[in-house]
Structure 1
Amino acid sequence: MTVFDLRMSILLSTPGADDLDEIVGALMEWRHEGAPMQLHAGDVGFLWQFGPERTAAALRTWSREGRILGVGMVDGPDLVRLAIAPEMHNDEDLARQMADDVTRPERGVLSAGKAHVEALWGGRFRELLQEGSWELDEPWIPMVRDLSEPVVDSGLRVEVVGPDRVDDRVAVHRAAFTGSKFSAERWHAMAAGTPYANARCLVGYNGQGDAVAATTVWSAGPGKPGLLEPLGVHSDHQGHGYGKAIAVAAAGALREMGASSATVCAEASNTGAVGTYRSAGFQPQPEVRDLRRID
């Protein structure tokens, strides 16, 4: 689907699988220290578990004269997660077009009724939504660990996942996230995606050799902030500090990959997650909020 507005010269498109590399490249380019949290190449990378065609179908791009200025990932019918080029935060044409597109169901971004927009930067786009039919939603807390100094060993035996450890990675994920259908097949599809060239899956083992925690870390390139997404502790092994340990190990892995910092965003209401990341050296940043459509 393509929508073209002559007045604003902004093109809204649903890309094809052949466009994914360009989109991932744009998301990586937009990341830099001090920038607000937004859709990361790693978010697209985790979605890649469903294959490139389905990944492309969930994405939307806003372009002008062939250049991608904004990217959205439709996460179900009622949520779109967004990113825009850093210099476009106050571009009036882009803000108005994107606000129109996420508000009007016929544009093919969000369905009618209940809907949420994750746009965690300040600027004209959020102003326009709040002037219209959108209001602030629940708060999130971005958290950042600086990686300029070496990361002390976490004390947990942590292994990088290859084909021989996929079953452990899958088992921890399914036990950590109730209802998950993550599988070895999905892991291999994710690992075959373009973003995974700058990623690692990690599994932590306790003294008895049990797989107790796991995460995936995504780099946006040397000197740029990396992302933890997702991170979980096996339900049979919670309460032993394994969440902190795997978060520390994740920071260490990102530093080895050249990342300038490790980042994650936790719901403010999830005090356990916030506490775990704080204990692992992640510093809370000012809270941010999604936007939701007013009934």
Structure 2
Amino acid sequence: MAIVLSSPEVDELGGALGALREWQYEGAPMQLHPGDLGWFWRFGAAATAAAVRTWSRDGRILAVGLLDGPDLLRLTTAPDARQDEELARRMAADLTGPERGVLPQGKVSVEAPRDALLQEVLRADGWDTGEPWTPLRRDLTEPVPDPGVRIEVVGPELATERAAVQRAAFDGSTYGEERWQAMAAGPLYAGARCLLARDARGRAVAMVTVWSAGPGRPGLLEPMGVHRDHRRRGHGRAITLAAAAALRELGASSALVCTPSANPGAVDTYASAGFRRMPEVPDRCREL
């Protein structure tokens, strides 16, 4: 049977979400995580469905992609399909095909697992090495140290405050309470937790959202940020420790995060909270 590219409707997303959960395992390369879709859900169910692409053969989903912005496709494959040549070549063709290209004209990027054959197919097709990212992992076998600050679990009553910290942590962010409400209404938030850290004066100084892929599987931090007025005081380490502890409570086997290698401060913050650096993963980029 031929490989089929699809853009699922909202009520069809369950298959893609289930596949992504199943593909998370200890020792896997950094890859698209269910939490990435959970975080994207802040734009609503319809927008999330419109951003998802799947590749299937004989009714089985082999790859899932997320258009995380108009010019970036983040994707992963079933572990046993990483070296499937037919799949890799079909995905590469679908990225830029004249009739149904997944990516638009202009400079575009693709993020894929470092061990996927697609990486080599794209390189052979003229795709350059793009921005490098540093994945980090913390094992959750043992209890996580106390973060040393007050941590609160965010519910609707704290959504406005959590959103304000998000905007103060990321330049240009327009994240508001309505985005949090949309994210929390999504099906993936049942396995998530949003946290706020407060300083000794009770001010909200950092936030994080963590996403479980199910018991015994790696969980994800996405996003984590510290209020710009409260940096360099250990709050990043504190909220990261709290995130790891929350994932452990949710049954995750490890905590994962990925940050641009060009942001050494972020890499150092995660390392200070016991996260171990893994090999860099560069995007593939091309001018179409």
Q: Does the alignment reach a TM-score above 0.5?
A: yes
- Aligned partner of 1:4 in structure 2 is none
The alpha-carbon deviation at position 9 of structure 1 amounts to 0.4
1:258 and 2:251 aligned: yes
Could you tell me whether the CA contact under 8 Å between 1:120 and 1:289 is conserved in 2? no
- Aligned partner of 1:46 in structure 2 is 39
- Aligned partner of 2:189 in structure 1 is 196
Alignment coverage as a number of residue pairs? 288
Distance in 2 (alpha carbons) for counterparts of 1:126 and 1:293: 13
Residues 149-208 of structure 1: CA deviation (Å, up to 9, x unaligned): 000100011111111111111110011111111111111111010111100000000010
Could you tell me whether the CA contact under 8 Å between 1:161 and 1:200 is conserved in 2? yes
What do you get for the CA RMSD once the two structures are aligned? 1.2
The alpha-carbon deviation at position 92 of structure 1 amounts to 1.1
The alpha-carbon deviation at position 120 of structure 1 amounts to 2.5
1:11 and 2:8 aligned: no
Could you tell me whether the CA contact under 8 Å between 2:105 and 2:287 is conserved in 1? no
The alpha-carbon deviation at position 294 of structure 1 amounts to 5.2
1:279 and 2:272 aligned: yes
Could you tell me whether the CA contact under 8 Å between 1:50 and 1:186 is conserved in 2? yes
Q: Which runs of 5+ in 1 are unaligned?
A: 1-7
Distance in 1 (alpha carbons) for counterparts of 2:258 and 2:183: 21
Q: In the alignment, which of 249, 261, 282 is matched to residue 289 of structure 1?
A: 282
- Aligned partner of 1:139 in structure 2 is 132
1:80 and 2:80 aligned: no
The residue identity in structure 2 corresponding to 1:114 is K
1:208-247 aligned within 5 A: 208-247=201-240
Sequence identity of aligned pairs in percent? 59
1:66 and 2:59 aligned: yes
1:109 and 2:72 aligned: no
- Aligned partner of 1:249 in structure 2 is 242
Q: Which runs of 4+ in 1 moved over 3 A?
A: none
The residue identity in structure 2 corresponding to 1:243 is G
- Aligned partner of 1:56 in structure 2 is 49
- Aligned partner of 1:3 in structure 2 is none
Could you tell me whether the CA contact under 8 Å between 1:227 and 1:263 is conserved in 2? yes
The residue identity in structure 2 corresponding to 1:154 is P
Distance in 1 (alpha carbons) for counterparts of 2:66 and 2:221: 18
Distance in 1 (alpha carbons) for counterparts of 2:111 and 2:99: 20
Distance in 2 (alpha carbons) for counterparts of 1:108 and 1:197: 34
The residue identity in structure 1 corresponding to 2:95 is V
- Aligned partner of 1:270 in structure 2 is 263
- For structure 1, which segment, 17-26 or 101-110, has the greater mean C-alpha deviation from structure 2 after superposition? 101-110
- Aligned partner of 1:149 in structure 2 is 142
Tell me the SS of whatever aligns to 1:106. coil
Distance in 1 (alpha carbons) for counterparts of 2:130 and 2:141: 34
The residue identity in structure 2 corresponding to 1:84 is T
Tell me the SS of whatever aligns to 2:107. coil
Tell me the SS of whatever aligns to 2:284. strand
The alpha-carbon deviation at position 105 of structure 1 amounts to 5.0
1:164 and 2:154 aligned: no
Could you tell me whether the CA contact under 8 Å between 1:28 and 1:40 is conserved in 2? yes
- Aligned partner of 1:176 in structure 2 is 169
Distance in 1 (alpha carbons) for counterparts of 2:70 and 2:116: 25
The alpha-carbon deviation at position 46 of structure 1 amounts to 0.8
The residue identity in structure 1 corresponding to 2:130 is D
The alpha-carbon deviation at position 133 of structure 1 amounts to 1.9
1:120 and 2:124 aligned: no
Distance in 1 (alpha carbons) for counterparts of 2:218 and 2:51: 24
Residues 245-264 of structure 1: CA deviation (Å, up to 9, x unaligned): 00010000000110000000
Distance in 2 (alpha carbons) for counterparts of 1:112 and 1:163: 40
Residues 90-119 of structure 1: CA deviation (Å, up to 9, x unaligned): 011111100111132532310122110001
TM-score scaled by length of structure 1: 0.95
TM-score scaled by length of structure 2: 0.97
Tell me the SS of whatever aligns to 2:245. helix
